[in-house]
Amino acid sequence: MDPWSGRVYRFGMNAEPILAPHRSVRVFRPGPLPEGMLERIVREGQRAPTDATAQMYSFVRVTSGDVRRRIAEFSGDQSHVAAAAEFLVVCADLHRLEAVLESRGCQPGTYPATGLHFAIVDATLAAQRLVDAAEALGLGTVCIGGILNGIEELVGLLALPRGVLPLFGLCLGWPGEAPVERPRVDVASVLHTDRYQGQTPEAIYTDVATMAAITRSGDWIGVLARYFASGGTMEQREGALRRVLERQGFAW
By the criterion CB under 6 A, which residues form the site for ligand FMN? 22-24, 26, 75, 78, 142-146, 168, 182
Q: What is the DSSP string of 73-138?
A: HHTTS-HHHHHSSEEEEEEEE-HHHHHHHHTTTPPP---HHHHHHHHHHHHHHHHHHHHHHHHHTT
**Smallest gap from residue 24 Cβ to ligand FMN (A):** 4
Cβ neighbour number for residue 236 with a 10 Å cutoff: 12
CB 24 within 8 A of CB 169: no
**Smallest gap from residue 192 Cβ to ligand FMN (A):** 21
CA 160 to CA 180: how far, in whole Å? 37
**Smallest gap from residue 168 Cβ to ligand FMN (A):** 5
Q: Which one, 55 or 75, has the nearer CB to ligand FMN?
A: 75
Q: Give me the residue whose beta carbon is nearest to ligand FMN.
A: 145
Q: Which one, 97 or 165, has the nearer CB to ligand FMN?
A: 165
CA 56 to CA 123: how far, in whole Å? 7
Q: Which one, 108 or 145, has the nearer CB to ligand FMN?
A: 145
**Smallest gap from residue 23 Cβ to ligand FMN (A):** 4
Q: Which one, 55 or 78, has the nearer CB to ligand FMN?
A: 78
Q: Which one, 158 or 224, has the nearer CB to ligand FMN?
A: 224
CA 152 to CA 211: how far, in whole Å? 33
Strand partners for 140: 173
Q: What is the DSSP letter of 193?
A: S
**Smallest gap from residue 151 Cβ to ligand FMN (A):** 13
